[in-house]
Amino acid sequence: MFARNNPQRTDEFYNEFDLIDPSSADAGLILLSYGERVSTCEGIDYAPFVKRAKKFAESYYEFLECESRPPKEPFQILRREWYCVTNPNLAVVHVYFRV
């Protein structure tokens, strides 16, 4: 719907999902989703995308720590996932970390 109303090209995007559930073993878990436009989904080297997603997640972690509470632990990635979606072609990296 947004693309029809304002057909601008997206080069990269970021989403943050707060998966915090105090009753869960995963309390304090954050999922940061990072994506960049790519020319094709064939034969992608995901290493540069994972590196940029990690850097963004680290800066977001620092922001969360500054905004809400004193620092607890150093930034640590718990899990990463990466894949490509089409139309438009986007390399997507998910970074899971705890706050």
Q: Which residues pair with 92 in a beta bridge?
A: 35, 83
In angstroms and rounded to an integer, the radius of gyration of the C-alpha atoms of the chain is 15
Nearest residue to 81 via CA among 71, 68, 96, 67: 96
Tokens 């970390």 identify what position?
97
Say whether pLDDT at 37 is over 60: yes
CA angle 17, 19, 22 (to 5 degrees): 150
Tokens 């947004």 identify what position?
2
pLDDT average, residue stretch 35-60: 94
What is the domain partition of the chain in residue ranges?
A: 8-98
Q: What is the pTM of this model?
A: 0.73
pLDDT on residue 82: 96
Q: Which residues pair with 31 in a beta bridge?
A: 17, 96
pLDDT on residue 81: 95
